[in-house]
Amino acid sequence: MPAIDLIKAAAAALTAKKTGPTLYDLCDPLLRGRGPGDAHLRTFYKTAVANVALRPLLGRAGLPALADPDRFAALQGAIRSARDDDRPDWAAIGREVAPLIDAAPQQHPRRPRLAAVAPMPSTAEIDRVLRGCASHLLGAFGRNKGFLPAWAAFNLVGDPDFHGRDLVTALTGLQARTYKNATLVFNLARAFILPNAPIAGLLNPPWTGFAEPMWEPVQIRHRSAYYDAFFAEALMDYVGTGLAAGDEAAQARSAVAAMVDFCLRTSRETVKHPVDGTPFDVVTALVPPPHARMSGFFWRLKSDLGFGTYVPDCDTTACALSAATQFGSLDPMLDQPFLDFYAGYQVRPGSNRPPPSVDINTPLDFQGGIVTWIESAGGDRPFGNDLDPTLNLDVLEAAFRNHARWGIVETEQRRDVVRGIVAFHDRLIGSGLFADPRAHIYYLPELYAAYFGRCHAAFRALPADVRATVDPDDRFARMRETVLAYVLDDLAAHEMNPFDAALALLAMAKLGAKPARFAPALDVLVRSFGEGGRHGPYRAYEWNKMKTPTRILVGGPEVTSAFVLSALCHARTSLRGDRA
């Protein structure tokens, strides 16, 4: 948001007329200061929404509906129950708050269709942008003393796809009380913010394209093996183009080696197979300081906000294994039969595993899918469990890259695991739900499309007999046509910001679209180069997110550069072949 617009929006928000009781009128008598009940709920309230920065703003956000003394008392009763009860009835608590959320519905940006045919940039322009993104990543790796950061930002308006019924689902499905507390308080704040247009406009200004820019003033820098695996793959794509000069190529390989080591060594954690107890080394989502590269202040704040314990997850493990395989790692961790491990986290008939407890992306048919969170060796699983479609693409892609090492078609169980995941995606794509943001837990549909292209490329690289065994019904061909049509006729046919354009281009290049169709996305990337100012070639955009406890976006200017770099590397190969 430009500075002058930010000043105007702040003035409008701070002078907005108070139209009813506020969040502080509701909660201060119950949660402010010391007192009885759950201490974390009080701490979270003070830290997250009753701090000195937000009080002048949210103190103007009144709700006329709460002028009704009965409604006000009922809502206070729910908060008191969350504070005082040893085992609160979280479903009942959620049902008191849910109508307030549904009273102010949100929607994703409505993107206008492109008005004109975009020109195809020259090879020189494409290479200039490509080299600029590579230089940004390598420079940032050096400036940050050996890692590439991502950033997290809290968005108090919540996620457009998270409705009142989802709050009830989350409050009952999440396992840690601290995480339930956080979800409750953030959604209470959301219920007051959204009906007050000046305040909502300041906290969530409009944007261009689909992926949300990360403009929030408070962003938390951190490092995760998931990010390192992604950055490593982007730099490997760059080295593969042959554009990197000798010293630059050596720097890129050195950075990739360090990030793969962080994935497989620093972030390694031993857990037990959930069914038979066999030990497996997996990759944890967030390692403790100093490896997380998060300041002491934010690490403490993370615990105060309900994120005291992080556990391994299936997605980080799959992406780390894929990056290591592409780099040619010989770490013995890669030799574990990971399909046997993932089988323990697959939703299937006859399993005694509980289904996803935070199923806020229904009406998906979860059959055949792999859930997200892995219990730690101590049995921790604070987030309950959910099932994300893009995660399941990552599991497939890692399995395809390691098809011989993991023997993915050598036993009936392994064949069934792979075919089950393929069938899950076939139903998702065939139904069209893959294009609905509500179907996704941690990503947008455009990222699913790009990662489907990545997975499809790994599938096409399999030996013919393995492909036939994995996909005897030729489902990948049908899925490719549907996803590519979405990219060409929807994603790339409407207004895009650079992050959208990078994902569209990556999907088109990986799925074999005609290079002439690359023009709109390439045009956006070339025209927008430099928008990031001193932070990098591009701004930070929404890469992935959490919908609980509120909408938490993860991204960064380095993330945008990495996606643009990968997309241009693969598009360049297709364009060179087309012009040959």
In a domain, 46, yes or no: yes
Structural domain containing residue 93: 3-110+162-203
Q: Quick one: pLDDT at residue 550?
A: 92
For β-strands 220-222 and 268-272, DSSP reports them as unpaired
Q: Which has the closest alpha carbon to 311: 270, 358, 368, 263?
A: 270
What whole-number distance in Å separates Cα of residue 308 and Cα of residue 303?
Answer: 4
Q: Do the domain assignments include residue 439?
A: no
Residue 61 located in a structural domain:
yes
In a domain, 259, yes or no: no
Q: What is the pLDDT of residue 580?
A: 46
22 forms beta bridges with 62
Q: Per the structure block, which two tokens stand in for 267? A: 């972030």
Which pLDDT value is given to residue 206? 87
pLDDT of residue 301: 66
Report the amino acid identity of residue 310: Y
The Cβ of residue 358 has, within 10 Å, a number of other Cβ atoms equal to 25
Residue 36 lies in a domain: yes
Q: Where are the beta strands (DSSP E) in 462-538?
A: none
* SS3 of residue 557 by DSSP: helix
Torsion of CA 540, 543, 548, 552, to 10 degrees: -10
Which parts of the chain sit beneath pLDDT 70?
Answer: 1-14, 216-218, 294-309, 352, 382, 578-580
Contacts for 362 with CB less than 8 Å, ≥ 6 apart: none
> Is residue 527 one of the residues assigned to a domain?
no
**pTM, to two decimals:** 0.94
Residue 15 lies in a domain: yes
Does the bond joining 290 to the residue before it have cis omega, within 30 degrees of 0? yes
- Is 97 domain-assigned? yes
For 61-103, what is each residue's pLDDT tens digit?
Answer: 999 999 999 999 999 999 999 999 999 999 999 999 999 999 9
Find how far residue 53's CA is from the centre of its chain. 27
Contact 385, 371 (CB under 8 A): yes
Tokens of 276: 């038979």
381 touches 388 (CB < 8 A): no
- Look at the chain and report how many structural domains it folds into: 1
Query: Encoding tokens for residue 454?
Result: 């990545």
Give the Å distances, CA to CA, from 13 to 55, 59, 104, 160: 12, 10, 18, 21
Q: Which residue has the tokens 């770490």?
A: 331
Coarse DSSP helix, strand, coil percentages of the chain, rounded to the nearest 5 percent: 55, 5, 35
HSE-up of residue 232 (Cα within 13 Å, Cβ side)? 31
pLDDT of residue 15: 73
Separation CA 180–CA 188 (nearest Å): 12
